[in-house]
Amino acid sequence: VLHKFDAASGGKFNYGNELDVSLSRKLGKHWSALAKYAWYDAQNALAPGGFNADVHKFWLQVNFSL
């Protein structure tokens, strides 16, 4: 999924873009795994609110169900 973040009013700032990717997999009868990756690419170094830094995040989750 690709998200584009722009200012709601004034159109002065293009805050950046974010790409989100996820993959899930069943691991037998009771187990599953989920991996997620997100990359935020800041477009405007002068944007207010702390949105001016590139960010990479990775999550790994393991689930058990009865």
**Three-state SS letters, 15-37:** EEEEEEEEEEEEECCCEEEEEEE
Residue listed under structure tokens 């991996």: 35
Residue 5: pLDDT band by 50, 70, 90 thresholds? confident
Residue 47: the pLDDT is: 62
Percentage of the chain lying above the pLDDT 90 cut: 58
Kindly state the tokens that stand for 44. Answer: 């405007």
Task: Give me the pLDDT at residue 59, please.
Answer: 97
**pLDDT above 80 for 26:** yes
First to last CA, the chain: 31
The pLDDT mean for the chain works out to 87
Segment 42-51 shows an average pLDDT of 68
